[in-house]
Copies of this chain bind each other. A is one copy, B any other.
Amino acid sequence: MRALVTGASGFVGGYLLAALRTRGAELLACGGPGDKGEFFPLDLGNLDSVRAAVDFARPDVIFHLAAQTFVPESLASPAQTYDVNVLGTATLTQAVRDYAATGARAPRILFTSSAEVYGRREAAEFPLREHLDLRPANPYAASKAAAEAVLLAEARCFRMDVVVARAFNHIGPGQNDRFVVASMAAQLAAAALHRTPLLVGNLEASRDFLDVRDVVDAYVMLAERGERGEVYNVCSGNAVKIRDVLGELIRIAHVPVEVREDPARMRPLDTPLYVGSNEKLRALTGWEPDISLRHSLRDIYEAAALAAGNAPADS
């Protein structure tokens, strides 16, 4: 497989590159204009830049990960979120159409959407399935719903080869600590050294956590076997309270810590329960999650401890 990866310099991008390398894929790993060195510079705001990357890579599959991915940032800067996530995606499809117009075989686009598109739901609707109407409740969610609309419409009218993956919460070593599990792990690692308190948001919220290595496996399987124009949830299928994740992390870290609620970490309209069905993905590809939540949390804490400069916890 010849693969072009946008957003390759991000958290998920790094794991996806590793998974693709393991499978012997030929890669063009694209970063944003600010990235250095190993990444091909891609500016999704510039059609010529995207065309150049596609012409250079001649990909079978484009993994389109590049996005503004953080909900609070989207609340602070909606316009920039729409620009990167929606217009950037439309620029990519334009570049793919232009590439195909030269007689080349159009690549598949594997788009990484988000469970945020479902928004707040009735209890009876869980676990969430792909056919539901979308009710995005923040600019990030709206940008992903809008990009899906663009991609799936173009699949219908231009026969664009699109597969949409709706990822639920993914976690793993090295994630930016603006995300809840990474934040708790980093704070625990700091607490082990300095006895600082641990600041948390809404611990009662339940989320569907999946290790990023299982997430990228699903992406690769969907790139290989997903049906054109279809949407697939990528999730564990299990809801776990953030309080229980924190409990497990504290057991792993084995440090006494004071837990404090922090109003700044409470999201407006935070959703109490979020869990998806992965039945469609499993039925099509045979994908199964490989890494348990406990295994994932152990790896996350070890990475956080190393980053904080202290020794890993006892294994």
Contact = CB atoms under 8 A, between A and B. Distances in A.
Interface of A: 47, 75, 78-79, 82-83, 86-87, 90-91, 93-94, 119-120, 131-139, 141-143, 145-147, 149-150, 152-154, 156-157, 268-269
Output the residue of A94, A132, A142, A154 with the most chain B CB within 10 A: A142
Given A131-B133, A138-B153, A269-B156, A87 B94 contact: no
13 contacts: A47-B79, A78-B90, A82-B90, A132-B133, A133-B134, A139-B154, A142-B152, A143-B150, A145-B145, A145-B146, A146-B149, A157-B268, A157-B269
Contacts of A47: 79
A269 B141 CA distance: 29
Contacts of A138: 153, 156-157
Contacts of A82: 86-87, 90, 150
Given A119-B156, A156-B269, A269-B156, A145 B137 contact: no
B156 A137 contact: yes
A149 B134 contact: yes
B152 A139 contact: no
